[in-house]
Structure 1
Amino acid sequence: MTPGEDSGTRVLDLIDEHLDSIRAALPDGQYQLLLKRLRALADTPPDDARAVLRAFQAVRLCLLPLPFGHPVREVLDSVRLVATVPVGRPLVLGTQDLLARLTAAPPPPPDTAAIIAAVERRLLKAPALSAAEVRVRYGGAPPPPELIRLADPELGDRYPQFQFPPGDGTPYEVVLEVNRVLLADADPWGAADWWLSGNAWLGGPPPAHLLGLLPDRELVDAAVALVEGD
């Protein structure tokens, strides 16, 4: 077994082993995209090594939004595949076996409360400012309602740090505009999850990672597409 084959099939084994926690950690749209990418890998001709490599990398990108510390996320950065037939065939066959197990029986109904709790724990791990730190930025005045504010049961109100540029300034204008689209004042957890989870509409990375890298309009359009169901 080559090193590339071992690392690729290990990812498949870990997906199989930790499927429930993957489903809980990924937004539903991202999880469905992962299943679509796995099906594409399973359907790839196993002797077309480069096509297998491309399909596997698409699966890998779908898993990158998993939180650091998740068993699958921990191995992703160490995966190094090369386009060879000995690697391609086990990956395709392994993915076919994985999908067969996933579809052999209907999945158990999700524990909605547990899923929500897992998402909230993940979001609270992101760097954030305290309520006092945010008030200082506004000269003691209350911050705008569209700023995402998450209630931490231990630390009190927390404002995810990605909303602010480096330094002591006020939030990015595009963050406030997107937050208005996402109704962050009514659903701060949903808005935070949009910013901090992988986004297929934007090519994979969390939107928070694209601030300053993409035109503001593209971030706004992605949020509008979510709200309007495009």
Structure 2
Amino acid sequence: MGLSHALAALAEHWDDVRARLSPAEFDEVRALVEAFSREGDRVASEELAEDIADLLRARLPRDHPFPAALRAREERLAPDPAQRAAELGRWFGLTGPLRVRLGGPPEPTADEVEREAEARLLDVPALDADELRAHGLDPGDPDLIRLDRADGPARWPAFQFTPDGGAPDVVREVNRILAASDDPFGAADWWLGGNGRLGDAPARLIGTLPDADLIAAARAETGGA
């Protein structure tokens, strides 16, 4: 579904959409758009975009530009970190025209969105290098997500480890699939963000979902078989 195309169409045809809806319906759309424009998480913002799409699909004629745009093909995020960063910038750039329609403040820049996302990931429970060594783990292990920070020591998100300090094989395998050594923040975001295929954040499913399901979801994310 072409969510990004549809959101661009919504901004372009804002007045026409408003004219076709009742005041209560348009207030509902506006509230969803306001929430979308403030959301800094890709998965959560996609869920809001889908809510907007569901509401307007039922109320606009099929040949209207918004539902027509929804039928366009939505590109998956590229596995390459540089391409993915550019695509994320374009996705969050959709808030700009919508914010203008809402009369809100200027949208955050792509760099601001990226910094906010990294700060959120750095705040999750994590181990430091000494704690890894105490459990017999190597801080230099490329199969573990290491998040470097400018104002302190590196952190290893705690979801990667069992209560006794081990790192399950499925975590290592998925981290290799996600190229965590090259894109640790992207890998951490995948583990900790909502996943429509799995129905929850993958990190919460370690040990409760078959390892093969987590591996398949990671491969689907990167375009692998």
Question: TM bucket by the smaller chain?
Answer: 0.5 to 0.7
Q: Percent identity?
A: 40
Misfit runs of 4+, over 6 Å: 9-13
Q: Which residue matches 1:120? A: 118
SS at match of 1:208: helix
User: Which segment drifts farther, 13-22 or 31-40?
Assistant: 13-22
How far the C-alpha of 1:39 sits from its partner, in A, is 1.6
Q: Which residue matches 1:208? A: 203
How far the C-alpha of 1:36 sits from its partner, in A, is 2.1
Matched residue type, 2:52:
L
Judging changes above 3 Å, is the alpha-carbon distance between structure 1 residues 13 and 161 closer, same or farther for their aligned structure 2 residues? farther
How far the C-alpha of 1:169 sits from its partner, in A, is 2.6
Q: 1:31 aligns with which of 35, 40, 45?
A: 45
Partners of 1:136 and 1:162 in 2: how far apart? 17
Q: 2:143 aligns with which of 135, 141, 146?
A: 146
How far the C-alpha of 1:145 sits from its partner, in A, is 1.0
How far the C-alpha of 1:34 sits from its partner, in A, is 3.0
SS at match of 1:151: strand
CA displacement 1:135-192 (0-9 Å, x = unmatched): 21126x44521100001223311000000011x3321110100000000011101100
How far the C-alpha of 1:43 sits from its partner, in A, is 4.0
Matched residue type, 1:218:
D
1:52-63 map, 5 Å: none
- Corresponding residue pairs, total: 161
Contact kept in structure 2, 1:25 and 1:118, CA below 8 Å: no
Matched residue type, 2:129:
A
SS at match of 2:155: strand
How far the C-alpha of 1:19 sits from its partner, in A, is 3.1
How far the C-alpha of 1:130 sits from its partner, in A, is 0.7
SS at match of 2:220: helix
Judging changes above 3 Å, is the alpha-carbon distance between structure 1 residues 17 and 31 closer, same or farther for their aligned structure 2 residues? closer
Q: Which residue matches 1:222? A: 217
Contact kept in structure 2, 1:134 and 1:143, CA below 8 Å: no
Judging changes above 3 Å, is the alpha-carbon distance between structure 1 residues 122 and 142 closer, same or farther for their aligned structure 2 residues? closer
- Is it true that 1:178 corresponds to 2:163 in the alignment? no
Contact kept in structure 2, 1:135 and 1:143, CA below 8 Å: no
How far the C-alpha of 1:112 sits from its partner, in A, is 1.4
1:1-230 map, 5 Å: 15-22=32-39, 24-27=40-43, 31-44=45-58, 102=98, 111-138=109-136, 141-166=138-163, 168-203=164-199, 205-228=200-223
Partners of 2:196 and 2:209 in 1: how far apart? 15
Partners of 1:103 and 1:160 in 2: how far apart? 34
Q: CA RMSD in A?
A: 3.3
Partners of 1:147 and 1:117 in 2: how far apart? 22
Matched residue type, 2:37:
D
CA displacement 1:118-141 (0-9 Å, x = unmatched): 1101101110001111121126x4
Partners of 1:130 and 1:191 in 2: how far apart? 18
